[in-house]
Amino acid sequence: MGKFIKLKKGFTINLAGKPAPKVVELEQPETFVIKPTDFHGIYMPKPVVKEGDSVKAGSALFHDKKHEEIIFTSPVSGEVVEIKRGEKRKLLEIKILADKKVDFEPFQKFSVSDIANLPAADIKSQILRSGLWPSFVQRPFGVVADPGLIPKSIHISAFDTHPLAPDYSILFKGQDHAFQVGVDIIRKLTSGTVHVNTHASSELSTVFSQVKGADVNKFSGPHPSSCVGVQIHHLDPINKGDIVWTIGPSAVIQIGKLFTQGIYDSSKIIAVSGSEVKNPQYYKTHTGASVKKFLNDNLTNEHVRVISGNPLTGTSIGKDGHLGYFDQQISVLPEGDYYEFIGWITPGARKLSFHRALGLFSFLSPGKERVVDTNTHGEPRAFVQSGIFEQVTPMDILPTHLLKSILAEDIDEMEALGIYEVIEEDLALCEFVDVSKHKVQEILREGLDLVQNS
């Protein structure tokens, strides 16, 4: 008994280099990395391993000093080769040199009928020990969920409208059973409903459409309709004092396997995409993998930016970087560090724009895939209220007013304007379309930190 929600506002960025529907299995990368910086709301990550220790898939690597029960575990088995720290000895990453074959830390196995009778406390402790707990993201603020709380609902966004995003029917093919078990388990962690939010127009993979024990909702419309924050806004909005959790389908599947097979299986399929990739396609790997092998002999040129995640919300990691914890795609775009003679006025349909201003003709051919580089296409300027943010935000939220209240550090105003309902990805499109080139996501995170720590 899900809902059908039609969204109109937004903009789907149509980039060249979408992954072909083909899953390739290469020899596994040598190193894997877990970065505490991928998570919000952990205060003092403290390593529990030393360089040279050997670990199994599911062995603890570090925990948060404030919440020692929340541990972060190794995605593969191997040897801890580097514990990288930054300023003030802040933990940046822990690198594992992987074994040829993954050796798993054993966890308790359950039959499907056992799972039905498992109390929530046991479920929590098993998920916590496996290191899968940080997959639960808590709203407001988009932080690692607090195991001591009970959310009013749990939301799973089962499609992705980000640029160059992977197709979930390829990512999760054949995982029906594990997903169903996962949903059965996480159902017990909420006082309300588990929402599985799917896209209305795309062919539904049975993984999501057949799921029982959850509300399967349908969304239509352009990006950001796949952003879980937008979905929550329309299904079960977050008010002051409310707690809602979100989790990705891959983590739900991993939780399913954790209980049925007794292992932390971090294997996932990722999309390697972008205009600078020779063969954009899918690869089988594990969380935190080094991206080097996927890009070897696979780039059209050397002057590129490698992004873990999608081009709207991702992080530039370099050609030797590692996949972020939550990311399921690598995007490779041309680096845009060039000058363009009177580039602010040259006309053309080549440049992608949501606007239809003088000389920008891309709106005439919305179906055309475009190559977009990382140039800022302009300089930072004062806010110009052209109403454009509102056109890409399918929520009853006034983004400009919210952002201004953050710049003014006015916490009451931020609350009143709905900061609890959004995190970076929900407003990432505003950053893309902004005439004045503000760092919208960065500003929003500053506001979230401010409210959270007040």
Partner 1 sequence: MKFLRNQLDKVKHNFEKGQKWEKYYYAYEALDTFMFAPNTTNDVKGAQIRDAIDLKRLMMTVIIAMLPCLLFGVWNVGHQHFLAIGQASATLGDKLWIGAIQVVPIIIISYGVGLGIEFIFATLRRHPVNEGFLVTGMLIPLVMPPDIPLWQVGVATAFAVIIGKEAFGGTGMNVVNIALTARAFLYFAYPTDISGNVWTYLGDGQVVAGYSGATPLSIAADAATTGTNVLTSLNSFGSVWHEGVYTFSNLFMGLRPGSIGETSTLMCLIGAFVLVASGAGSWKIIVSVFSGAYAMGLLLNLIGGNAFMEMPAYYHLVIGGLAFGAVFMATDPVTASQTERGKWIYGLLIGLFTVLIRVFNPAYPEGIMLAILLMNVFAPLIDYFVVSANKKRRLQRATV
Residue closer to partner 1 by CB (options 21, 380) is 380
378 contributes a contact to partner 1 by CB under 8 A: yes
239 contributes a contact to partner 1 by CB under 8 A: yes
Ranges within 72-91 binding partner 1 (CB under 8 A)? none
305 contributes a contact to partner 1 by CB under 8 A: yes
Q: Do 291 and 308 contact (CB within 8 A), yes or no?
A: yes
Distance, in Å, from the CA atom of 168 to the CA atom of 282, rounded to the nearest integer, reads: 11
Among the listed residues 26, 384, 407, 408, the single contact to partner 1 using CB under 8 A: 384
Among the listed residues 31, 135, 393, 441, the single contact to partner 1 using CB under 8 A: 441
> Which two tokens mark 224?
């950001």
Q: Which amino acid is at 219?
A: F
Contacts of residue 111, defined as CB under 8 A and 6 or more positions apart, other chains included, come to 260
Q: How far is the CB of 45 from partner 1 (least distance, A)?
A: 18
Ranges within 146-205 binding partner 1 (CB under 8 A)? 163
Q: How far is the CB of 193 from partner 1 (least distance, A)?
A: 17
Q: How far is the CB of 334 from partner 1 (least distance, A)?
A: 10
Residue closer to partner 1 by CB (options 203, 379) is 379
Residue closer to partner 1 by CB (options 70, 307) is 307
Distance, in Å, from the CA atom of 313 to the CA atom of 100, rounded to the nearest integer, reads: 33
Q: How far is the CB of 313 from partner 1 (least distance, A)?
A: 7
Residue closer to partner 1 by CB (options 104, 361) is 361
Secondary structure (DSSP) of 256-291:
HHHHHHSS---EEEEEEESTTBSS-EEEEEETTBBS
Ranges within 332-371 binding partner 1 (CB under 8 A)? 333, 335-345, 351-360, 362
Contacts of residue 104, defined as CB under 8 A and 6 or more positions apart, other chains included, come to 56, 57, 58, 77, 263, 264, 265
Among the listed residues 256, 424, 426, 448, the single contact to partner 1 using CB under 8 A: 424
240 contributes a contact to partner 1 by CB under 8 A: yes
298 contributes a contact to partner 1 by CB under 8 A: no
Residue closer to partner 1 by CB (options 149, 384) is 384
Residue closer to partner 1 by CB (options 98, 417) is 417
Residue closer to partner 1 by CB (options 216, 323) is 323
- Burial class of residue 160, CB neighbours in 10 A (0-12, 13-18, 19+): buried
Distance, in Å, from the CA atom of 425 to the CA atom of 270, rounded to the nearest integer, reads: 19
Distance, in Å, from the CA atom of 168 to the CA atom of 249, rounded to the nearest integer, reads: 9
In this chain, which stretch among 16-24, 90-98, 191-199, 390-398 interacts with partner 1, using CB under 8 A? 390-398
Q: Residue 218: which H helix or E strand, with range?
A: strand 215-220
Which residue matches tokens 């990805």? 425
| Sign of the Cα pseudo-torsion (202, 203, 207, 208, in order) | positive
Q: How far is the CB of 95 from partner 1 (least distance, A)?
A: 19
Report the Cα–Cα distance between both ends of the chain, in Å, rounded. 39
Residue closer to partner 1 by CB (options 21, 359) is 359
